[in-house]
């Protein structure tokens, strides 16, 4: 298995589960790799698992997104960790994701000839192989559109959350703030001039946490999940304590315990650097 099959033409490298297929774990210099953190970028929520690493300073990467740990991925998403938390949907299989990435590369090149032929050839190969395997190259497949109908809230990262909601609408209730309003609350806390000021600005967030506790008592588990994910996406370490209160509980109530474990590991070691847990000896 060549992890660099796409490197020369697209600057992409296969990582994550592909490292295991290529047996990188057998030559790892790290005696105790934490697989929860392997290529887990700063803004990757627990639902996200990196499978392709890009080149360049924006820390572009593409990964599988799952709504629950024991289900198959619902789509592939792209994130640029240096730019923020946004996850852009890139089809529901790796052929589609790479094909869409390649299409963008071709557009960026404009009319320049050099290398254009190579991109076209690779595009053709991807198309043929995807077709023979029965994979769609659409950015938004029918299955993804079906999922959109079940998304209860987009969250700050935009990829959306799906939680079970019964016919009586039990399962999710909205936060009392819009996304813009919540971002203002977060900004006031993160940018407070002193700890004293920060304590004062925590009021609205504290109120929301109380609402989440009521929601959990009444089985609307999606509310705590949304607030926790939004605070995680905001990225400030001032929210880590609150995230630890909210998210492991939400994941546990939703029977998605593995996501809680991933989150705990990530918050203990959240970084833009040294993301490869399997550096070779």
Residues tagged active-site: 218
**SS3 assignment, position 152:** strand
**SS3 assignment, position 88:** strand
Per DSSP, the residues of 226-252 read HHHHHHHHH--GGGHHHHHHHHHHHHH
Strands (E), 8-149: 13-14, 48-53, 60-65, 75-80, 88-89
Phi and psi at 66, nearest 5°, equal: -115, 145
Cα–Cα distance between 72 and 93 in angstroms, integer? 11
Q: Which of 48, 79, 91, 88 is nearest to 229 (CA)?
A: 48
């Amino acid at each position: 298995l060549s992890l660099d099959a796409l490197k020369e033409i697209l600057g992409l490298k296969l990582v994550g589960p592909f490292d295991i297929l290529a047996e990188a774990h057998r030559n790892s210099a790290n005696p105790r790799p934490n697989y929860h953190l392997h290529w887990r970028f700063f803004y990757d929520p627990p639902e996200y698992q990196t499978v392709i690493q890009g080149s360049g300073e924006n820390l572009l990467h593409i990964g599988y997104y799952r709504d629950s740990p024991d289900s198959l991925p619902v789509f592939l998403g792209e994130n640029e960790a240096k730019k923020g938390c946004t996850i852009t949907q890139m089809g529901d299989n790796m052929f589609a994701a790479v094909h869409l990435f390649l299409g963008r590369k071709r557009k960026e090149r404009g009319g320049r000839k050099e290398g254009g032929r190579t991109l076209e050839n690779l595009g053709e190969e991807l198309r043929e192989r995807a077709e023979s395997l029965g994979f769609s190259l659409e950015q938004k497949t029918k299955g993804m559109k079906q999922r959109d109908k079940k998304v209860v809230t987009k969250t700050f990262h935009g990829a959306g959350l799906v939680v079970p909601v019964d016919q009586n609408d039990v399962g999710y209730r909205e936060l009392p703030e819009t996304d813009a309003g919540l971002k203002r609350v977060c900004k006031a806390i993160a940018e407070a001039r002193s700890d004293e000021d920060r304590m004062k600005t925590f009021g609205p967030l504290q109120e929301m946490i109380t609402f989440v506790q009521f929601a959990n008592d009444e089985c609307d588990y999606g509310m705590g999940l949304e607030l926790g994910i939004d605070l995680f996406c905001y990225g400030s370490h001032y929210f880590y304590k609150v995230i630890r209160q909210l998210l492991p509980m939400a994941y546990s109530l939703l029977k998605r315990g593995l996501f809680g474990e991933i989150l705990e590991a990530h918050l203990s070691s959240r970084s833009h650097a040294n993301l490869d847990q399997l550096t070779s000896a």
